[in-house]
Chains A and B, each alone.
Chain A
């Protein structure tokens, strides 16, 4: 425990190492321990650092982001580095910057590190080490955490400490453990002959090694297509075999599916150029090597039947079926099946289990990214993708940089009583607050349907609090997580694609794919804002048993802001007006804005004033306006016209009575 006093805490690793060796028995305490100095680990370190927390990042390699020193093998990142958007708004621009981490330092934007739209992976390595260095993040490099276990302790924040043991035997005692180790174990499929298969992690990336060869690639993800892209100009042909059909990201709207940049092989397949795609379950497969060293595809059960025989004796499918698709012999078989989470260092006592069938490669977590097995253990970054696998961007830098921030906000409230950041405004600013966020917020846009903004109404709905980027599946626990009260109703602002618009078999270019009219907003297909209104905070049950296909329980009222080709939702009539009407009807009030003159008239002719006049004019902050605006107001019939003595015929709810000259006394 005396360590931090004895040594400059973040001094040269060598020095620390010496001391650590000496004090191997005394565990070093940290409030927060972060495993892995990849993008997610560094992002968390940044927030902990800014909040002045006691933390340490543990990194096996000598540099941050070591994954990117080797992967992707062909070095081209498929996360876009869009340097120009035509807009100055830095928050908006993050919607189209998929590589930067969040920080207050504008120099730490990825566009300063690469000019390429699809940047080189080594730029990412350079970026991450700059990020760690410039922000002075506390990272312990060259430290392999070999084992993680828990130690029950009543005094601990979560009733237990996490004990980390590194490769030198040094122990660390952590109150909160943040695992950001990514997916580090290559996925393998075990079948007879799998030993002949080259792995993506170790295969050659030199196209020369594939010249004039017949190549079979197992897998149909981006790594498989990236590999094919690299060699399909020199091979005889490439066949690609996977269990299920190819999922194109432009049809599924999921960035983890096959991106157009990698789909050269699809083009050649569909344009009859010998390359091809096949679907079959890899676990039924077997590979037999013949005497020339060529590989033949057959069935596992054939191999099992003839398991003692020489490879030539094993029957092949084409023996019975002479037009079997994979009857040619292959020179190479390459496995590109992706990665999975490394569970091996975690003791059973942590109860860290893998996800369901669909997201087996990820550890199981709640929507708050906290492990279901142990409190205080959070999974960050790529490994946290089970929450939104195949839906949103939580497995990628441009998504998890926001989920990491959400976890940090949760921790600040849980352990330091720092409530979730929020701003409070008078109710007349509600539409503006929402319009601002849906037009610029990058977290809502990237983590659509995972993180959502929440508006908490105060008593009588005269003011509201605005909370950003809350993990929406945790809505029922909002009060505990944020430390804010939600007693008077709330709005949830989410971004959504249209129902039934995304999917591997969907035609996303059909002719009526977009709607333009406000009344059809609920039929919008492209990503658009959706606002849910709840009179009461939904319960856990309601969230869990929500209607199928809904991201949230059925609200009291619902509003869709109609999709916009430019994602610019600021049209006064097309976007803002319907939103105001929705808010007005939820809150049962009039949210129009009025010039001071109108407020003056209302003040002297009504007992009550609309909120805009109450919150502005009556506090001597009325909007006076100019003569030219007044003129427009009179022309539009919305403003009181002194010339004609006409009443406020159109504007106010309870208007001045429109008398005519034909009077009859009763």
Chain B
């Protein structure tokens, strides 16, 4: 019964529209009621609009109807309009109040009537008409009970396509109806507009239209539920088609041979293929895994089981997954993945990027949602009142006077620039901490207001911090944009750099941290340059290096006559550097031989690096500069002293020179958990030693958890690493950072509008609009001027009175107005 009716309406349906209107150009025939009924063919569906009189409402409806004629034609439905005005009336013409109705006929039997306001646009027209015709194929339900009944009834028989749309007549409703037209005989379509029903079957995000595919056909045990697959993409005809196609495809295919040659429907739909590499010996387990993966990737990729033994292709030994993308030019990827989730992740992470670039439906991607963490956090914090009064706001008028009158630190920022506004908060924190204690004036300039001040100070990007000291060139701060580092910079700048030490005793106090007790916490190392009074050049070089490091390292200089007392005490020849590490209470000496400013800076910078530092967010960049693999000991809290001892001992013996040994305190640097998670997928037992080779290959190795961290074990392990005998637990992704989301493609939008304009407007406009306008438009541009002069010429040759006709026009106008 169903299928026969189906074929009938597929054979032909027509939709008639009738009215008088001169604006739109409707292709569909305009008929009188009489002629209309004579044209109706049996079995063919027709949407008919009976039209009484022209009104703005009807003309808008007619425009939409006109546009819907083409898509409806594709479904064999014709469209017609019947003019009730000119001819005698039929009963469908109705009275004045029934004016706004359209009827759907099959043959000459009326099926349904639609108030025209339900057919508000093309989508609504197509959706409603198909919905009426597909009455049996699409079950409309309102309760969970309805759904369960259908589900139970179809178990073992047919699969179900269940969808929720926000309302009847919406674009997504149309998409579902169009899909039902094609697949309605194969699957049972179920439709609801009840959000409560959708909520009860439990999707997370209930705001959007949804489509589920229920696998009921394979369910033979009636107590078992049908497996439900949610379609992730938006409800468009194309997406639904793709989704259903993938649902129809076999869940898992077993293949042999070259993965490069295999093709399934997935590839044609632009979806990747995932080959699970197994072998005969473990066939059952591999098949279970593959099925599990297949369910996970259903709708996202095609999953195939490839047995290594049966394939003649050379598959790398450690490969367990092969991915082949739909794009023609991409290579087959051989992967060694430790978890099933990694397959899903691998696929999704790369798929997202590609999809995002290709995606056409912008709204789906939420490109209007902020994905810049700094912008977003500053925006969310915009209403917070900062104690800005702790810093002095400078203006064009006050800037110069202020920075020359006292030593000042100036933050240049711009109110609209998020990074500088984020830093402004740290800056205010510094002001809070220094309140009442510092001689340094903390000031700020908002470059959004005082643009010229900033330009004059050579500030063209934000934020910038500059220190102004009397008699010195302003110094730009180049440290981390945070409270601690800036505070250190300001504190260390309190003393001159290098500070001039005047006696041996003072030098000793300087070295043991007594002299600048309060600064020791900011600079863990003090540098003292020792020079004999005659070494002017070396002193100059050192002084310059000291001022370069100003604010980052404390430096001092001693060059009194009795300098030899110090050099002999620390057994070093002049000129020399003494490095006092306050934390360890050690003093190191380095002779300076023929060194220039840069070399001195380099020596001091290198010396300030620790042998086995605790790595933090702030200091990681400094250690990354060494370009060596990191040997990181992850520790939940303070470091195990035994481990520390072991590593320090190895380092001392230069066994660890090929790596940068360091440790990470998860309590202090909680983001370290994120690092571990990326390496292990889960938080492994701590402490834990890891080697991260960031600069070549991004391979991560974990020290075997069953071994004790002893000198021997560690050395052996490192040797094995070097020899390439260990396999990495993780290879860090080497992808470039691409645009996270696409941008609006205004060029295409403009092109689309232009071609539409050409296609539609030109023929009509030339006829009507332009003719109309040339009356109004006064000669203005060149062509108009020419037109006018031609007119004038004509006048000269023919009758004089024509010119008066021309001049009458403005006059007539005047008369009306006056």
- Chain A contacts to B: CB under 8 angstroms: 87-92, 106, 243-245, 247, 269-270, 272, 274, 276-281, 284, 299, 301, 317, 320-321, 323-326, 357-358, 423, 425, 429, 432-433, 435-436, 439-440, 466, 504-505, 518-519, 521-522, 554-555, 557-560, 570, 572-573, 576-578, 580-582, 584-585, 588-598, 600-601, 603-611, 616-626, 628-630, 632-633, 635-636, 638-640, 642, 645, 647-648, 650-666
Contact = CB atoms under 8 A, between A and B. Distances in A.
Contacts of B602: none
Given A358-B782, A645-B683, A624 B694 contact: no
A620 B804 contact: no
A659 B681 contact: yes
Nearest to B342: A657
Nearest to A579: B743
A317 B807 contact: yes
B621 A619 contact: yes
B376 A638 contact: yes
Q: What band does the interface of chain B fall in when counting residues whose beta carbon is under 8 Å from A?
A: 35 or more
A536 to B, nearest CB: 17
Nearest to B690: A604
Contacts of B60: none
| 6 interchain residue pairs of minimum CB distance | A624-B482, A245-B778, A642-B670, A570-B416, A584-B739, A321-B804
A654 B737 contact: yes
A276 B814 contact: yes
27 contacts: A91-B451, A243-B785, A276-B810, A279-B779, A317-B804, A432-B414, A432-B461, A433-B460, A505-B778, A522-B749, A522-B750, A558-B747, A559-B744, A559-B746, A582-B743, A593-B372, A593-B373, A600-B671, A601-B671, A605-B675, A607-B697, A610-B737, A621-B480, A624-B484, A628-B384, A650-B371, A661-B682
Contacts of B460: 423, 425, 433, 466
A428 to B, nearest CB: 9
A628 B694 CA distance: 32
Given A89-B449, A621-B481, A663-B681, A629 B377 contact: yes
B617 A600 contact: yes
Contacts of A577: 368, 370, 372, 375
A598 B817 contact: no
A651 B370 CA distance: 10
Interface stretch (B63-71, B297-305, B423-431, B587-595): B423-431
B617 A664 contact: no
Interface stretch (B210-218, B254-262, B332-340, B525-533): B332-340
Contacts of B484: 624
Contacts of B796: 301
Contacts of B677: 645, 647, 656, 659
Contacts of A560: 746
Most buried by A among B340, B449, B462, B481: B481
B508 interface: no
B713 interface: no
A666 B338 contact: yes
B616 to A, nearest CB: 8
Most buried by B among A425, A573, A598, A607: A607
A633 B373 contact: yes
B620 interface: yes
Given A573-B370, A653-B738, A618 B396 contact: no
Contact of A590 (B737, B745, B782, B801): B737
A638 B377 contact: yes
Contact of A325 (B345, B422, B810, B817): B810
Interface string B785-818: 1001100100010001101100110110010011
B204 interface: no
A655 B738 CA distance: 12
Interface of B: 289, 292, 320-321, 337-342, 345, 349, 353, 362, 367-368, 370-381, 384, 395-396, 414-419, 422-423, 425-426, 429, 447-452, 460-462, 478-485, 617-618, 620-622, 624, 630, 669-671, 673-675, 677-679, 681-683, 692, 694, 697-698, 732-747, 749-750, 776-782, 784-785, 788-789, 792, 796, 800-801, 803-804, 807-808, 810-811, 814, 817-818
B186 to A, nearest CB: 33
B739 A636 contact: no
B811 A653 contact: no
A484 B133 CA distance: 68
A628 B483 CA distance: 13
A607 B737 contact: no
A619 to B, nearest CB: 7
A554 B748 CA distance: 12
A589 B373 contact: no
Given A604-B694, A621-B481, A626-B429, 9 more contacts: A425-B460, A425-B461, A436-B447, A518-B744, A559-B744, A572-B370, A607-B732, A625-B425, A654-B353
Contacts of A660: 341
B482 A629 contact: no
Nearest to B367: A581
B443 to A, nearest CB: 16
Contacts of A652: 737, 740
B750 A320 contact: no
A657 B450 CA distance: 45
A581 B743 contact: yes
A272 B818 CA distance: 4
Nearest to A92: B451
A634 B737 CA distance: 22
Contacts of A277: 810
Given A620-B479, A666-B320, A581 B737 contact: no
A224 to B, nearest CB: 16
Given A272-B818, A439-B416, A654-B737, A625 B345 contact: no
B694 A625 contact: no
Given A244-B780, A358-B782, A653-B740, A623 B450 contact: no
A653 B353 contact: yes
A324 B418 CA distance: 68
Contact of B734 (A280, A585, A607, A642): A607
A632 B421 CA distance: 14
A585 B414 CA distance: 25
A598 B373 contact: yes
Given A603-B620, A609-B737, A622 B480 contact: yes
A636 B371 CA distance: 10
A633 B817 CA distance: 66
A331 B396 CA distance: 58
A426 B617 CA distance: 22
A584 B372 contact: no
A87 to B, nearest CB: 7
A371 to B, nearest CB: 24
A429 B697 CA distance: 30
Nearest to B448: A89
B337 A666 contact: yes
Contact of A440 (B353, B378, B451): B451
A581 B478 CA distance: 29
B452 A90 contact: yes
Given A589-B736, A642-B670, A581 B741 contact: yes
B743 A623 contact: no
Contacts of A597: 617, 671
B678 A656 contact: yes
Most buried by B among A572, A576, A628, A648: A572
A106 B397 CA distance: 11
Contacts of B375: 572, 576-577, 593
Most buried by A among B342, B373, B414, B461: B373
A265 to B, nearest CB: 14
A638 B371 contact: yes
Nearest to B745: A557
Contact of A281 (B621, B697, B789): B789
A557 B748 CA distance: 9
A301 B798 CA distance: 13
A96 to B, nearest CB: 15
Given A578-B744, A633-B376, A279 B776 contact: no
